Structure 1
């Protein structure tokens, strides 16, 4: 995105925030609250429905478990359980091929210079 377009978008957003009385602190608090909500979800289905495991189970959980699906099938992995990325060695800022198959070439296939 070029600088002029970015500045235009920022100006537009600042004007709309002022129009509705939204502060930067309110946005930061809202984002933090959303993150806390996302982190508290213990079970999620393919449609994005979530449940924190507290209280009565929502209908999608009842339906799935009644059909024989295990509740653990819907478990959301915690940060410690998430496997390391297979692209961990890729420098995403400097590599022009980052994110493509070319960034995943194994060192033994690279030609030495």
Structure 2
């Protein structure tokens, strides 16, 4: 980004901040609060949903656990908490589709890559 374009964006942001009565300290406080909240997150899914592990689990956690997923699968720092010898993820030994066409169809044969 060239310097002129950057200065134009900064000027526009300053005008908008003044229009809404936002001070630079307000932004700094908001960023600090976001950082604190993000550090408290213990579980996150692939869609970006997050949970700190406190209180009632959110719907995405309930649905994942109901579908057979373990909570530790979503742990952000779970690698340090897991037993390295323990397998994580799905247990395919009890797969009801094992040996059926559903278990052997590849993505290429379906037409997706």
Distance 2:40 2:61 in 1: 16
The count of corresponding residues between Structure 1 and Structure 2 is 80
Unaligned runs of 5+ in 2: 82-113
Q: Structure 1 stretches (4+) deviating beyond 2 angstroms? A: none
Q: Counterpart of 1:15? A: 15
Q: Counterpart of 1:57? A: 57
- Choose 32-41 or 69-78, whichever is displaced more: 69-78
* CA offset digits 1:56-90 (Å, max 9, x no partner): 11111111111111100000128x89xxxxxxxxx
- Greater radius of gyration (CA): 2
- Choose 60-69 or 22-31, whichever is displaced more: 60-69
Question: With structure 1 as the length reference, what TM-score do the two structures score?
Answer: 0.66
Q: Counterpart of 1:66? A: 66
Distance 2:3 2:60 in 1: 46
Question: With structure 2 as the length reference, what TM-score do the two structures score?
Answer: 0.66
Q: Deviation at 1:19?
A: 0.7
* CA offset digits 1:30-77 (Å, max 9, x no partner): 011111111111001111111100011111111111111110000012
Q: Counterpart of 1:89? A: none
Give the RMSD, CA atoms, in angstroms: 1.8
Q: Counterpart of 1:38? A: 38
